[in-house]
Amino acid sequence: NAGVTQTPKFRILKIGQSMTLQCTQDMNHNYMYWYRQDPGMGLKLIYYSVGAGITDKGEVPNGYNVSRSTTEDFPLRLELAAPSQTSVYFCASSLQTNRANEKLFFGSGTQLSVL
């Protein structure tokens, strides 16, 4: 009963370093998302994917890259970490039908600090 699994839970990066946040889901969901959560700001969509091989930008994509080579995995890449990328990152997935995309299942988050 894993659901959406994110790793790592915590990470500290130096400015300019790169890293990949991993996300995998075992629910055979076609849609996957990456959000960032800043204090008092709610959740902002970074990138999303509607299926393997397809990705699209959200509200705040600058400084990030994603790929979706399989249905299960949706890694988020930071190439040159900046202090502005200090945040809590959430991966989510949903099974899309013709109805609204409301039933997002979230991972437990990755807390990233860039110093």
Partner 1 sequence: GQQLNQSPQSMFIQEGEDVSMNCTSSSIFNTWLWYKQDPGEGPVLLIALYKAGELTSNGRLTAQFGITRKDSFLNISASIPSDVGIYFCAGQVGSGNTGKLIFGQGTTLQVKP
Q: How far is the CB of 59 from partner 1 (least distance, A)?
A: 7
The residues pairing with 19 across neighbouring beta strands, listed in sequence order, are: 78
Nearer to partner 1, 26 or 59 (CB): 59
Kindly give the pairing relationship between strand 4-7 and strand 19-25. Answer: antiparallel
Q: How far is CA 38 from CA 78, 95, 101, in A?
A: 17, 26, 23
φ, ψ for residue 82, nearest 5 deg? -125, 155
Q: Which of residues 74-103 bind partner 1 (CB under 8 A)?
A: 90, 92, 96-98, 100-103
Given the complex with partner 1, which of 14 and 52 has the nearer CB atom?
52
Which residues of the chain form contacts with partner 1 (CB under 8 A)?
4, 31, 33, 35, 40-45, 48, 50, 56, 58-59, 90, 92, 96-98, 100-104, 106-109
